[in-house]
Amino acid sequence: MDVQQLELLCKQFYESQDGQARAEAEKALYLFQEDPDALPKCQQLLERSNSSYSQLLAATTLTKLVSKNIQALSMQQRVDIRNYILNYLATHPNLQSFVIQALIALLVKITKLCWVDLYEDEYVFRNIVSDVKEFLGGSVEHCMIGVQILSQLTVEMNQLAETACNLTFTKHRKIACLYRDSQLYDIFILSCTLLSQAKDNCCKTATASQYMDEAQHGLFTHLLNLARNCLSFDFVGTSADESADDMSTVHIPTNWRPAFLESDSVKLFFDLYHVLPARLSCLALSCLVQITSIRRSIFNNTERIKFLAKLVKGATDILKSSHGLSDPENYHEFCRLLARLKSNFQLGELVTVENYPEAIQLIAKFTVQSLQMWQFAPNSIHYLLSLWQRLIASLPYVKSSEPHFLDTYTPEVTKAYVTSKLESVPVILREGLEDPLDDTGMVQQQLEQFSTIGRCEYEKTCALLIQLFDQTAGRYQEILSSPPTSATHHLDIQTCEGQLTWLVYIIGAAISGRISYSHDDHDLLDGDMIIRVLQLMTLTDSRLPACGCEKLEFAIMCFLEQVRKVYINEHLQKLKMFKRLSEVLGVNDETTLLTVISRKIITNLKYFGHSEQIIRKTLTLLNDLTLTFSSIRRLIKLDEIQFMLNNHTREHFSFLGTGAVSASRCRSMFYTCLGRLLMVDLSEDVERFNTFMMPLTNTIENMVMMSFPSEEARKELIGLSRDLRGLTHAFNAKNPYMMLFDWFYPDYSPLLIRAIELWAHDPAVTTPVLKLFAELVYNRSQRLQFDVSSPNGILLFRETSKLICCYGERILSLEVPKEQIYPMKLKGYAVCFQMLKAILSGNYVNFGVFKLYGDDALDNVYPKLSQAYYILIECLAQDHITYLSTLEPPVFLYILESISKGLNALDVLVGSGCCATLDYIVTYIFKQLQLKEKHMLLVTTFPNKKVRQSVLPENNVFLKVMELHPEILQNLLSTLLNIVMYDDCKNQWSMSRPLLVLLLLYEDYFRQLRENIIHSQSLEKQQSMACLFDALMDGIERNLHIRNRDRFTQNLSAFRRDLNDSLKSANNLANSSSVNEMLD
């Protein structure tokens, strides 16, 4: 493909309106990019400069070539590419921006990968800063290119790309540390110097409005990005997850101290914020956020207060003027800046700052205004709430005599938060806006922050909440009692329900903030709020099933969860709270409160079967209640709980019906809770157990009578499997488990095996059934303790064996798309492995009796699972060999040992899969050794020159295994040769592939093996045996080309044929020793 064709393809791909033409062009360009010999054509494309798209293709192709296999390029080629790109950028400063970015990406990529490489006794690639200074002294365009190079280089040095096959994390950190120690500080100082010069020049010659000049705007953008990238550098290698906590610390080295103490860098960025337009000032604030996060230990106490004073003054000036805060990006970054002030400094330090009183007043005012303008930047509120949460949490630890004023301003913030939520509801309903209540994750996060904030001046918080709740609830009752004649009647109800939802959430959060040393007055206040929510709960329940607000019901369940955590606790004195509840509601102790909660649980399970969210939240509460011994003893005595135990049918609990399959996932949790409750007083009462199981018995009996396969039977089966799994999980004692087992086997277990036969292709059926059996065979708390005379352990295993065999026979023959491999196959495989592990390690089955009595259950189950295991390992070796190379040596040794066992398996599929897996592994090792040999050759040829190590560190795991445990692969060689020579080898072609590689890897060992085999023959046969081995290696070269592999396969076929003929004619087969015995 010549250059003109490539340019035409680029034009078709980027400009054509014909979809087919674009697809064909994309395919052709992809093939070009995968061509390892594309280097000269890329240079030609760049030199022609006819099309920006052609230049982009050349740059991206070279980047991909460098990233994938830089070892294929000589050091001279790498230096030439580097110098060519620098010269190209210098002579073409007006390229399209996307071409410049692509060329810079190539330059920084090759610079990083070659950072530790020597060229003519010099680290050429470390001269990048001095090279870039040539750009900085040129035109504005050249200066922007130079800044972009430094900025992108810093980013590249800071991140380990997933596509970087040439770097391990260790090598990446080594390069990053070298760059940090030798270049990064100078680059940051350079960025500050250039920013200061640019600011001064612009202030002298232009007004702020003229900053919008494209060249100046671009220069400031790149300079600020460079400074931010320097400050965001992962200095100590602890920020691999960029999505982690935003309040991270910037661990700058100690030698950076002068940049923040002696120079005016803090003032510089605050000045830039004030003079630059909004599109740029947000970048200045972003740099200040990082500066505020600098580690505390870099300063002594005096320096830290001085540094903090600069930050507080700068933030206060912004708050005074409100400059730029109308821009959402500026506002967001400023909120982050305020949050960092507390995350990195102590409240005791903040209060000692000279202008702290003014600062905290302005911050409180800004927070209140921000909460009131909830539509402006809702994602930024998190940082303001985080600031106040941290401030309040620090109050018990403040030792300074200076006033903190938090008791003055926090109630204002609390009131603003609560009222803003209530005021947002009618606006959202009226304008059809996105409802924050739908984002439960955000709601819970804010409530967690409020639980701390609201505890400051708690009396004021409770008074506010009670007042607003009474007003809203009163209005709600008034609307409900009035006739629906008004056009806004329904909207008014929705508004009240939305506001009550927020109030219930907030009251629950306030209660959850209770600390261990709260005084009794706070418990009285909690009691007043609990009373109101319970009264509201009674009102909403009375409207069911006709009307029900799911968001409000979910909030009530969250509230009850907080009440459970705080006040249903045997270690807590709460007499004052229950005294208040007793006066109004008659709830005088924990048992009575549990009665109220149990009724609510039953109500939700009865009326909200259509809402998986509410059912799951309700069952989570029930599950938490049944986890502790003290509460479960109280629960079992309640009539409500007895009702659940005696009436767990779909007529009473609609979610137990055959509705959506997704909703049935809650059923396991439901029956786990019922199982725990049943066990409390069950003992050996079989009659009571059978009574409890009657609904399930009826369900399964009805299924037996259904026509299979039908959709109704399928849904019933899925639900039943989940129900039984939940019960089995709960029955962790011998007696209840044995009752369940006797009920299940042998009457009903065949039905589940039949279901696997019919629906093996449907993971919605197979996964619940397999998980049920996995739970049945799990010896949880030693519950599977069968009597000596009981065959139940063997029967359980036999039934499980049937299930696995039935599933394996069907699923292994099922063809599925690659993107569906996990849900359709691998998930089931994983459960089967869990099942087998549980039953083999459960110590309740004597596997020796299977062979003794000719039972093939154990023999049948192993091949099905082994096929699944070896298929998985083969997939890893084929497509993820780099991942295998990073495994710990013991894990890799285990895989090799399992391959060795699989080679001898009777199942041809297992043996073939092991051969393929072994071939992928040893081929990879062989190629790495070839690289190592080239490295040694260069060292020998040029003894006085340092040559870059060619073997990648991540591959050394394989090489270390070869060095420390050569016997592993040598034994595999012996095993393969033994099978080929003396066994009934049914997959000869598969075995020939790894055998060739092993022969090339261990030539000395094979030579010794060959001599041992020859000498083990009779004298008259030794010569012919030697000839056979000579013929085996005839024409075989020391490479793994396809032609060489095919030649060896042919030689091996002839070797095996001639060997068998020779041994048969001499009648010497019976006397021949195995390869392994000859080596002893």
944: CB partners within 8 A, 6+ apart: none
Task: Grade residue 622 by pLDDT with cuts at 50, 70 and 90.
Answer: very high
Task: Grade residue 991 by pLDDT with cuts at 50, 70 and 90.
Answer: confident
Is residue 1078 scored above 60 in pLDDT? no
What does the pLDDT look like over 320-352, one tens digit per residue?
999 989 999 999 999 999 999 998 899 999 999
| Alpha-carbon distances of 736 from 98, 126, 728, 771, rounded to whole Å | 69, 72, 9, 19
Is 756 in contact with 803 (CB distance < 8 Å)?
yes
Is residue 1072 scored above 70 in pLDDT? no
Q: What share of the chain is helix, strand, coil (3-state, %, to 5)?
A: 75, 0, 25
- The predicted pLDDT at position 861 comes to 59
Per-residue pLDDT, averaged over 990-1018, amounts to 87
What does the pLDDT look like over 470-506, one tens digit per residue?
999 999 999 998 888 777 888 999 999 999 999 999 9
Q: Cα(774)–Cα(776) distance, rounded to whole angstroms?
A: 5
Kindly state the DSSP code that residue 794 receives in the 8-state scheme.
H
Range with the lowest mean pLDDT among 149-153, 222-226, 277-281, 849-853? 849-853
- The predicted pLDDT at position 813 comes to 86
| Alpha-carbon distances of 992 from 881, 898, 983, 987, rounded to whole Å | 21, 19, 14, 9
- The predicted pLDDT at position 1071 comes to 40
What percent of the chain has pLDDT above 90? 42
DSSP H helical ranges for 908-965? 908-941, 956-964
Task: Grade residue 46 by pLDDT with cuts at 50, 70 and 90.
Answer: confident
- The predicted pLDDT at position 924 comes to 87
Quick one: tokens of 1075?
């390869």
Q: Cα(270)–Cα(303) distance, rounded to whole angstroms?
A: 19
Is residue 518 scored above 70 in pLDDT? no
- Which amino acid, 506? I
Range with the lowest mean pLDDT among 206-220, 514-528, 754-768, 851-865? 851-865
- The predicted pLDDT at position 950 comes to 44
**570 burial level (CB within 10 Å; 0-12, 13-18, 19+):** exposed
Strand stretches in 749-822, DSSP E: none
Q: Cα(145)–Cα(90) distance, rounded to whole angstroms?
A: 9
Range with the lowest mean pLDDT among 138-142, 471-475, 554-558? 138-142
Task: Grade residue 381 by pLDDT with cuts at 50, 70 and 90.
Answer: very high
- The predicted pLDDT at position 273 comes to 93
Kindly state the DSSP code that residue 182 receives in the 8-state scheme.
I
Q: Cα(101)–Cα(99) distance, rounded to whole angstroms?
A: 5
Task: Check residue 1067 and give left, alpha or beta (phi > 0: left; psi -120 to 50: alpha).
Answer: left
Q: Cα(96)–Cα(56) distance, rounded to whole angstroms?
A: 9
What does the pLDDT look like over 66-109, one tens digit per residue?
887 787 788 888 899 999 999 999 998 888 899 999 999 999 99
Angle between helices 328-343 and 381-393 (to 10 degrees): 20
- The predicted pLDDT at position 1075 comes to 39
Is 137 in contact with 93 (CB distance < 8 Å)?
no
Alpha carbon of residue 317 to chain centroid:
41
What does the pLDDT look like over 107-120, one tens digit per residue?
999 999 899 888 88
Q: Is the pLDDT higher at 1058 or at 161?
A: 1058
Q: Cα(175)–Cα(172) distance, rounded to whole angstroms?
A: 5
Q: Cα(948)–Cα(934) distance, rounded to whole angstroms?
A: 11
Is 351 in contact with 400 (CB distance < 8 Å)?
yes
789: CB partners within 8 A, 6+ apart: none
- The predicted pLDDT at position 47 comes to 81
- What is the SS3 assignment for 73? coil
- The predicted pLDDT at position 906 comes to 66
- What is the SS3 assignment for 513? coil
What does the pLDDT look like over 881-931, one tens digit per residue?
777 777 777 778 888 888 888 887 767 778 888 898 899 998 988 888 887
Range with the lowest mean pLDDT among 28-32, 74-78, 457-461, 1032-1036? 28-32
Cα angle 592, 454, 375; round to 5: 115
Q: What is the average pLDDT score of the chain?
A: 85
What does the pLDDT look like over 228-255, one tens digit per residue?
999 999 898 876 444 444 557 899 999 9
- What is the SS3 assignment for 263? coil
Per-residue pLDDT, averaged over 788-806, amounts to 86
Is residue 360 scored above 60 in pLDDT? yes
Range with the lowest mean pLDDT among 97-106, 502-511, 854-863? 854-863
| Alpha-carbon distances of 681 from 632, 668, 686, rounded to whole Å | 11, 21, 12
pTM of the model: 0.77
Task: Grade residue 1074 by pLDDT with cuts at 50, 70 and 90.
Answer: very low
Alpha carbon of residue 1007 to chain centroid:
50
b/e per residue, 964-978, with b = 16+ CB within 10 A? eeeebbbbbbbbbbb
- The predicted pLDDT at position 411 comes to 96
Q: Cα(933)–Cα(927) distance, rounded to whole angstroms?
A: 10
Kindly state the DSSP code that residue 820 receives in the 8-state scheme.
G
- The predicted pLDDT at position 514 comes to 83
Q: Cα(422)–Cα(806) distance, rounded to whole angstroms?
A: 58
Is residue 537 scored above 50 in pLDDT? yes
Residue with tokens 């909030």: 555
- The predicted pLDDT at position 660 comes to 56
- Pick from 992, 1021, 1009: nearest CA to 1076: 1009
Per-residue pLDDT, averaged over 1075-1080, amounts to 40
Is residue 163 scored above 80 in pLDDT? no
Residue with tokens 């023999």: 859
Per-residue pLDDT, averaged over 277-296, amounts to 92
1072: CB partners within 8 A, 6+ apart: 982, 1016, 1017, 1063
- The predicted pLDDT at position 497 comes to 95
Is 625 in contact with 594 (CB distance < 8 Å)?
yes
- What is the SS3 assignment for 294? strand
- The predicted pLDDT at position 939 comes to 60
